[in-house]
Structure 1
Amino acid sequence: MIIQRTREEIELIRHSALIVSKTLGMLASEVKPGVTTLQLDKMAEEFIRDHGAEPGFLGMYDFPNSLCMSPNAQVVHGIPNNEPLKEGDVISIDCGAFKNGFYGDHAYTFGVGEIAPETQKLLDVTKESLYIGIREFKLGNRVGDVGFAIQQHAEKNGFGVVRELVGHGLGEKMHEDPEMPNYGKRGRGKKFIEGMVVAIEPMINAGTHRIKQLRDGWTILTADNKPSAHFEHDVALIDGKPELLSTFHYIYEALGIESNEEEEFRAQTINFHD
């Protein structure tokens, strides 16, 4: 069942989402050759707790850490470890926070130092597909409209769209209705309603869309061991249009990147320095 949120509930979800955004922004300047994913995980847990929240992933379904850290051919759900990142790696950092009864959950894929041009294209196209999908999250549309838009953009660029893992509704639980696949057909699936909140998260592979799982029971990899990218935003349907609750602003601020990609999805001004 899709839950219609009040404006007050949406603001609480936004608050949790922005804690995740700030966490990713803090990590952005720490993602460099030589650092381990376990070190980054410990930084994130401390940062989240310092902001009065609980790490959203820690202990969920018995996951052992605060971040899902998925480098290179790992798609999602990678477990932090003591292996140092290397120049040319890419790494998806997926983070969650729980505060005031609501979750925030979003992700960004970082390049470690200089990355190969073809890998940079994968990251660019995946992030583009995220916003293309968000644009279709509007009153009158359905789940399939978002998935179709994401799939079309990724596949026309020669990339594979993961089928088995999907976005989701978000609120008092990390995973709520509806499921939000990154593929689909226009006009199919559940209809969007005012006040709903979802996490839209394209997971796009450089090669095949097929995946495999490690024996740890968590880590998902591409079947052909080519790189994968993953970007995720939390989005509410307000006045019939998509409004971002999360932001990449803090990441871009840390990395010295100028971008106006989020402007069309902000119906109100957010003071990012609160």
Structure 2
Amino acid sequence: MIEYKSPAQIEAIGVAGALVRRTLNAVREAAGPGVRLKELDDLAQRVIADGGGVSAYIGYHPVWAPSPYPRVLCVSVNDVIVHAIPDRSRLRPGDLVSVDLALLVDGWCADAAISFTIGEPSAADRRLMDATEAALAAGIAAARPGGRLGDISAAIGKVIRASGFGLLADHGGHGIGTSMHQEPHVANEGRARRGLKLSPGLVIAIEPMLQAGGRDDYQHCKDGWGIRTADGSRAAHFEHTIAITASGVRILTA
């Protein structure tokens, strides 16, 4: 069932979204050569607690996962695309890092992801990240009241396919509100003017995940959570939580 939100509830999700953004900014600023991934997770825990939030990840246990998720962040490096558990490995110059975070404030959830490099990005990494952000921006621009969910998917997919990069198969965005994952599924490729009508009160997370090698397939990491590119190429991931309102789209994690 799709959960539509009132204007007051959208404001509440925006409070959670502001804390998501503050936490991601703190993590990006702290990331550098020699920093352990677990240290970034510890920092995020402190920022979340200081902001009155609680993790949406800790204890999350979908049916496909081998165990409940143990951290507040997903930190995926280089050829790892999404869902990686932060461990004691250290960041190195040139690493391409994707950080995904969902949290709740007063029972309302927001979700976002960013990608960045340790040091100046190579031309190839810059192009990959720019294409991923462009796909996200296209999806948000297509999220107009009265449109269709397929408009968002088609806009994202058009940018991705034009870039020549791969699209992570079987993954996409989702509804969000009182829990992290709700209906509807938001595919990163589809047909315009098809699917659910975009009505005021709909809140969704849009998240393109691109692979530099141009393939869509993937492999699972040894921890059973992380997903990596099948060809060893690098990956990028950007995400925002947005709301459809009577006057247009609102980005709640900006």
**TM-score normalized by the length of structure 2:** 0.95
Tell whether 2:155 aligns with 1:124: no
SS of residue matched to 1:97? strand
Query: What is the rounded CA distance, in whole Å, between the counterparts of 1:33 and 1:124 in structure 2?
Result: 23
User: Which of 193, 197, 214 is 1:191 aligned to?
Assistant: 197
Conservation of the 8 A alpha-carbon contact between 1:233 and 1:246: yes
- Paired with 2:211 and 2:191, the residues of 1 have a C-alpha distance of 20
1:69 and 1:173 map into 2 onto residues whose CA distance is: 21
Describe how 1:203-218 pairs up with structure 2 within 5 A: 203-207=209-213, 208-218=215-225
Q: Aligned residues: percent identity?
A: 36
* Off by >3 Å, runs of 4+ in structure 1: none
Written as runs of structure 1 = structure 2, the 5 A alignment for 1:80-229 is: 80-207=86-213, 208-229=215-236
Residue pair 1:163, 1:183 contacting (<8 A) in 2 also: no
Q: Root-mean-square deviation (CA), in Å? A: 1.0
Equivalent residue for 1:17?
17
Q: CA deviation at 1:169?
A: 0.5
- Give the whole-Å Cα distance in 2 for the aligned partners of 1:94 and 1:39: 15
What secondary structure is seen at the aligned counterpart in 2 of 1:34?
coil
**Runs of 5+ consecutive residues of structure 2 not aligned to the other structure:** 62-67
Displacement after TM superposition at 1:24 (Å): 0.8
Assess if the C-alpha contact under 8 Å between 2:199 and 2:245 holds in 1: no
Aligned residues: 247
Q: Is the 8 A contact 1:212 1:221 kept in 2?
A: yes
Maintained 8 Å contact 2:56/2:103: yes
Using the size of structure 1 for normalisation, the TM-score is: 0.88
Measure how far apart 1:141 and its partner are: 1.8
C-alpha displacement of 1:133 = 0.5
| 1-structure distance, mates of 2:91, 2:180 | 29
The aligned residue for residue 64 of structure 2 is: none
Partners of 2:218 and 2:151 in 1: CA distance: 24
SS at match of 2:21: helix
In structure 1, runs of 5+ residues without a counterpart are 248-274
